[in-house]
Amino acid sequence: MFNCLRRPDELSFAGGVFVIIEAPDEATGRLFAAKGMPTCPQGRYVLIHNPVHLLGAEAAMSILSAVKLRSSTGSRDVRPVVDLIGVTDRDLVVGEVLTIGTRHVIPGLSHRLEPACPLGPDAPLPYYMCAGASVVRPVKKGQVLRCSDVALDTQSPLYALRVSQDQHFFPST
């Protein structure tokens, strides 16, 4: 996930796939720009994108690769490296329910990447696990939201998946 400022009528990269290429010459860069592809002001770098994520095709390929080839379609060293965590933009009060809105925004929270760690009372709460959580103790502006700051839905599929991930990659927890 990355942040960028954009107008509502501009492309959103949420859920899409993209690559930036270098045009071989000015004429090619102008051609891409004329077709509506975003370019840098000089036309040298061009954004080629598919504004949708190919969920059906990509998921099937990953599953087939795992089952038939016993191989990942990603890195050979598959493990959690970072967590996207929640950081308060304002004071949070007891009883407040954190809700996710448009464009993955949880009002009152920002997000940042931190080294991955298992869930625990003092562990930073992963950003998307904040959605739907109820604040159980006051949290000051600028603080990392911790697991013990909220009541988590321990019956949710997301919680179950995260616990399973933590047991696999952090077995001492």
**For the whole model, what pTM was predicted?**
0.60
Q: Does domain 82-169 have CATH number 3.90.1210.10?
A: yes
pLDDT given for residue 4 in this prediction: 55
pLDDT given for residue 53 in this prediction: 62
pLDDT given for residue 1 in this prediction: 39
Residues (pLDDT < 50) of the chain are: 1-3
Q: What are phi and psi of 158, to 5 degrees?
A: -65, -45
* Domain ranges, ordered by start, for the chain: 1-77, 82-169
Q: Return the residue matching tokens 């004071």.
A: 91
Amino acid at 95: G
The SS3 call for residue 157 is: helix
pLDDT given for residue 44 in this prediction: 86
Q: How far is CA 136 from CA 85, 90, 94, 149, 150, in A?
A: 18, 16, 5, 6, 5
pLDDT given for residue 2 in this prediction: 44
pLDDT given for residue 103 in this prediction: 74
3-state secondary structure 93-117: CCCCECCCCHHHCCCCEEEEEEECC
